[in-house]
Structure formats: C-alpha cells, structure tokens
Structure 1
Amino acid sequence: MERTAVNPRDWSLKLGYNQAEVTRGAARQVVCAGQTAVDGTGAPQHPGDMRGQIGLALDNLEAVLTAAGMGLGDVTRLGVYATDVDEALKNFDLLGMRFGQYNSAPPMTLLGVTRLAIPGLMFEIEATAAV
C-alpha cells in the first residue's frame, strides 16, 4: 500500500499528525472499536492517571491490530476521546513514541468528552488501519 501525506500547511506535524493521507493499493482494512485502559477482564486500570491510561489504551490498540495481522504502522486514521483534553495533550508524546517508530503520523481527531462508557476511564482511542 502506498500512503501520501497531505499537509497544505505544516502546523499539524508539530502535533504529530498529518491533516490527510491518500492511500493507494490497500488490500485489507480493519476498523477498531475504541480501546481504553482496561485489563484482560475489562476492568479499568490506572485511575486518575492519564499517562498510564494512554499507554494501556495504546497497548490494547496494538493487541487488536496484531490479532488482525496489522500494526500501528498500518493505521490510517485515529479518533481520540479524552475527559481532559489538556491533560491528554500533555501526554501525547506517548503517541509520538509509538507511531514515530514507524514514521507514521495518521490523521486524527481529538475530542473532549464529559465521560466515557466506563466510569473512571479518561482516554479512548479508535483506529482504522489498512494494508
């Protein structure tokens, strides 16, 4: 698959994402439901710790992608939901570290929400990936 970044202006690159990407030649696509900071039984982890929740949500996203035969480098779109956008942004270096190792900066949207489905969760990330 070929991916071409589209950034008419480069402001989003400083935040770690492309404004758009053109993809060609994708044979398979996976759409991942929102992943959060839960353990294998679905129990919330890292209460009150945005950084811990982002890290575990990324681990869970990577596990879903791996089970689908893909990885973080195959992600073409992210949707991010946070109960505290400012706190999430302070910890977005975690996304940069995880996606940066694949030279990937998928287009994303970050939305502030009043709460997530499970009380105590502060961060949720959904993804679309293609190969």
Structure 2
Amino acid sequence: MTTLAQSKKEEQMEKRTINPWKWQNERNYVQAVEVTKAEGTLYVSGQTAIDSDGISSKEDMKSQLIQSIQNLEKVIKEAGYEIKNIVRLNIYTTSSEEFFTCFDAFQNWITEHNIQQASTLFEVKSLFETLKIELEATVVK
C-alpha cells in the first residue's frame, strides 16, 4: 500500500524541452516546453521597474531590466513557486537595440536559475510612463 507522500512523489511535475535545433541554446531559451503532472500554474502579469511605492524608474535599460527581474522574482516567490520553473517568459521593450546592450545580464540570470523557457521578444511603441522593459511569465509547480 502506498502512502500519500509516495503517491505525491510519483506524480511530481515533469518538464520536457523541445529543441529541434541547437542555435537557440546560445540565446538562452528553448523552442517549446511540455509540462505534465503540474500541481499549479502561475500566470504573472508583466513586471516592470516600478518600486514598492509605485514609482516608475527613469533609469537606463540595464537598471530597469535588473529591477524588473527582481520584481518578477518577488511575485513568483510570494506565490510559493520557484524561479527555475518559469516555462514562458515574454519580453516587451521599447527598444530591442537597447535591450541587447544588456542582454548578458538577462542571460546570466537565466543561467543562474537554470531556467529553460519558451520566449518571445516584442518591441513596442511605449510602456507605462518612463518604462523601457516588461517581463511576463508563466510558472509551473
């Protein structure tokens, strides 16, 4: 007879990445992620460089990227999920060119947390107030 704990362990979430090519590996994303036996799914609204008082950053792209990542991490952890389980991460930016000047900071964060996510980069005309970047995520448990 199996215990509830054993039964839970057997039903742990599983992630499988689908990469028919290798070139995306240098860009730190995957072509697709399949998730089975998920316990929950967290859909995170776009996180930007807004401080805890609701003030939008007027800093450069790299500073805004770092603050957006910190805000994203805070929401994910507050919900009881893990950063490594981000399976979808959309990036909205007012300047792809400027974003790529600090892309290494983004890639380092992805690598540090062993995130394997499907991603899409969108260049948009504008974001709220003075914001330059927004990160929208889907996380599984």
Is this a same-fold pair by TM over 0.5? yes
Query: What is the CA-CA distance between 1:105 and the residue it aligns to?
Result: 2.4
Structure 1 residues 48 and 40 mapped into 2: Cα distance closer, same or farther (>3 Å)? closer
Provide the TM-score with structure 2 as the length reference: 0.87
Unpaired runs of 5+ residues, structure 2, are 1-12
The range that moved more, 5-14 or 54-63, is: 5-14
Check whether the contact 1:115–1:122 (CA below 8 A) recurs between aligned residues. Answer: yes
Please point out which of 9, 13, 17 is paired with 2:29.
17
Q: Distance in 1 between matches of 2:138 and 2:87?
A: 6
1:43 corresponds to: 55
Q: Distance in 2 between matches of 1:103 and 1:4?
A: 14
Please point out which of 38, 51, 75 is paired with 1:64.
75
Query: What is the CA-CA distance between 1:48 and the residue it aligns to?
Result: 4.5
Count the aligned residue pairs.
129
RMSD of aligned alpha carbons: 1.1
2:66 corresponds to: 55
Aligned-residue identity in percent:
32
